[in-house]
Structure 1
Amino acid sequence: MTLALLYGALALQGAAAADAWPSKPIKLVVTFPPGGSTDVTGRLIADKLRGELGQSVVVDNRAGAGGNIGADVVAKSPPDGYTLLMATSSHITNISLYKTLPYDFMKDFEPVSTIAFIPNVMVINPSFLKVGSLQEFIAYAKNLKDTKLNFATGGSGTSYHLSNATFNAMTGIDMEHIPYKGGAPAVTALLGGEVQVIFAPLIEVLPHIQAGKLKPLGVTTRNRSSLLPDVPAIGEVLPGYEVALWNAIMAPAGTPKDIVDKLDKAILKVLADPDVKKKLAEQGSDPSGKTPEEFKAFIATEIPKWAKLVKLSGAQAE
């Protein structure tokens, strides 16, 4: 068989495989534990994709190492469209946060589509800290002489940490970093008065805000959240401040373009579903589907942005 005929046969074989895809259940690897914001969104999308693809999409939680364990599983999976990654902005952060990674984020994954953008929200416990606004908080913190405010995070280098470190740098306030082993214990510490402030994903503190146990002072995204329309974006008070989290779907590098495009179209249809829009909005997330090409360009802009935030925070992980 000549080389040209061989290439032609391989192309036809690849096209046939893409046409048949999916012929069995698909696994979506979520790199964080069940119940968190990434898991909730992943399960919502997985459930709705079944109607578009004609096959079930099963969530597989592979938590650990800031999302690196699950990402490595997908990076080393066959590029056949049956193992996908629920990627997040944490995976971009890890490029600068970790000295070494078991995979190359830019080379080992195929961008498919973004899912949503998620704000963090700066909250205090009004039972322990009597300030009524973001401006009052800044003035109060700057006037402290012999003590410091403590801020809780879900760990060094997490979005909690980077959001607060950026706030510290832009205001000149020297708050003490108190890292916890995850977001849930960090929120519990704030509720108990062990710390004074936290910058947490909105979905993780929204019930406490609605119950009046926590008071929101600002959101970290450029625009206000539709769930908290009276709460300012921090950038309204500190021009240029923005820390926007996101999640997305990626596949192993080498996944056939026809499969990637088919999956992208299915995701865009899911994100246009009124029920999905409603449920994402209830979590404080804004749907944001991108084409694979747009997603790839977006990643290129995100890497230096998050590298700057990691450097600013001084965070480092082994």
Structure 2
Amino acid sequence: MLCSLLLSAMLGTVAAPAAKAQQFPIPGRPVTLIYGFPAGTSGDVYLRLAAPRLSAALGVPVTVENRVGATGNVAAEAVSRAPADGHTVALVTVSLTATNPLLLRMSFDPMRDLAPVMRTFDAPNAFTVSTQARPQYTNCQAVISALRAAPGRLNYASSGIGASTHLAAAQFLQATGLEAQHVPYRGGPPAMIALYQGEVEFFFYQSGTVVEDMRAGRVRILGITSAERHPQLPDVPTVAEACNLPGFVSTTWHGLMVPSATPPAAIARLNQEFLKINADPEMQARLLNLGLTPLNSNPAEMLAATQRDIQHWGEVIRRAGLQRE
């Protein structure tokens, strides 16, 4: 019963009659793609690659807007309160629906107030260390040995309490039975600076964001948190391989959501156009080069993935003893 109610709400089947009859796209009205994280991060890069393609397909202007704050909540809430006409779209991470409700006091309900369009790409996290500040960390086992020798005394970074970068590290520590001090920063870039400067031992960050740093020699990626090696990073093992943790997976997918009363026809059109964008060979090559994996998805698949991740991350949060702020 609960699943059917969630599906109905998220698919926007209880739309107002006027909204159902509304044309999409509305000629001359721009589409705004809103993202809750800074410029240069994986989702921002994706949207800026997708925007001109979507504009050409829909025949209306498409802009990208960054509204940073509260692990994506600020952007998602703004979209939830926007007109339900398909012209305001949020790119969210799995954190919005699977972890934020467990960790943050929210003034809206993403499962009620937003409807899924599709998952757009999967972004595995990268187990990252500094090549200059920690040259001794040549592999995962070296980090494990250091943590074991100083239980609870070494630091690791995250982009914020409850962010995917925090929970991936928490999952790693739970899987290895080790302890370390969590140091949350206000976003990924400050955490990366702390990593460069040796303030922390390691940082689980989205591979699409750190791959250029790896290629420039500033960081070493000890492992990727996906189930398989990424085709553009064939020499980088998975964390499961590198750390001898069979079955270890911790990825951060991104997906599109719209206000819950958005007409199903508008949702279907957005899904159709983004599927085409993801299938474009140039787009696929750009994403894969960034360590990202484009996804073929639909609203029902995104909902099912969300429900799986609510269970998975809920258990990680419980074991980590994290409380709602």
With structure 1 as the length reference, what TM-score do the two structures score? 0.89
Q: Is the 8 A contact 2:122 2:292 kept in 1?
A: yes
Residue 25 of structure 1: CA displacement?
Answer: 1.0
| 2:208 alignment counterpart | 203
| Superposed CA offset, 1:229-275 (max 9, x none) | 12211123201311110111111111111111111111101110111
Residue 80 of structure 1 pairs with residue 79 of structure 2: no
Does residue 258 of structure 2 align to residue 251 of structure 1? yes
1:39 offset after TM fit, Å?
Answer: 1.4
Please tell me whether residue 55 in structure 1 is matched to residue 60 in structure 2. yes
Residue 10 of structure 2 corresponds to which residue in structure 1?
Answer: none
Give CA deviations for 1:174-221 in whole Å, capped at 9, x if unaligned.
112122221111111111112111111113222221122211111111
Pick the aligned partner of 1:131 from 127, 133, 137: 137
Which runs of at least 4 in structure 1 moved beyond 4 Å after TM superposition?
13-16
Helix, strand or coil: the match of 1:184? helix
Distance in 2, Cα, partners of 1:212 & 1:14: 52
Q: What is the deviation of 1:112?
A: 0.6
Instruction: Return the index of the structure with the highest Cα Rg.
Output: 1
Q: Report the Cα distance in structure 1 between the residues aligned to 2:209 and 2:139, rounded to whole angstroms.
A: 21
* 8 Å contact from structure 1 (residues 117, 286) kept in 2: yes
Alignment of 1:182 with 2:158, yes or no, is: no
Range that drifts further, 64-73 or 305-314: 305-314
Q: What code does the residue aligned with 1:282 have?
A: N
Corresponding residue for residue 315 of structure 2: 308
Shift in CA distance, 317/61, structure 1 to aligned 2, threshold 3 Å:
farther
Shift of 1:227: 2.8
Distance change >3 Å, CA 47–CA 149, structure 1 → 2: same
Match of 1:22 among 16, 20, 26: 26
What residue in structure 1 maps to residue 100 of structure 2? 94
Q: Residues 166 and 312 of structure 1 are in contact (CA less than 8 Å); yes or no, is this contact kept in structure 2? A: no
Residues 19 and 85, structure 2, Cα contact 8 Å, conserved in 1 = no
The CA deviation at 1:86 is 0.9
| Alignment: residue pair count | 305
Give the Cα separation in 1 of the matches to 2:308 and 2:170.
Answer: 21
- What is the deviation of 1:126? 3.2
> Residue type of the partner of 2:87?
Y
Encode CA deviations 1:101-134: one digit per residue, 9 max, x unaligned.
1111111111111110001111122332413322
DSSP 3-state at the match of 1:33 = coil
Q: Is the 8 A contact 2:19 2:84 kept in 1?
A: no
2:211 is the alignment partner of 1:213:
no
Instruction: Name the counterpart of 1:265.
Output: 272
Deviations 1:29-50 (Å, cap 9, x if unpaired)?
1112222222111222222111
Question: Cα RMSD (Å) of the superposition?
Answer: 2.0
Structure-2-length-normalised TM-score: 0.88
The percent identity for this pair of structures is: 35
**Greater Cα shift, 24-33 or 144-153:** 144-153
Show the counterpart of 1:35: 40
> Gaps spanning 5+ residues in structure 1: where?
1-9
Q: Does the Cα contact within 8 Å between 1:157 and 1:317 map onto a contact in 2?
A: no
Q: 1:260–1:37: structure 2 CA closer, same or farther, 3 Å change rule?
A: same
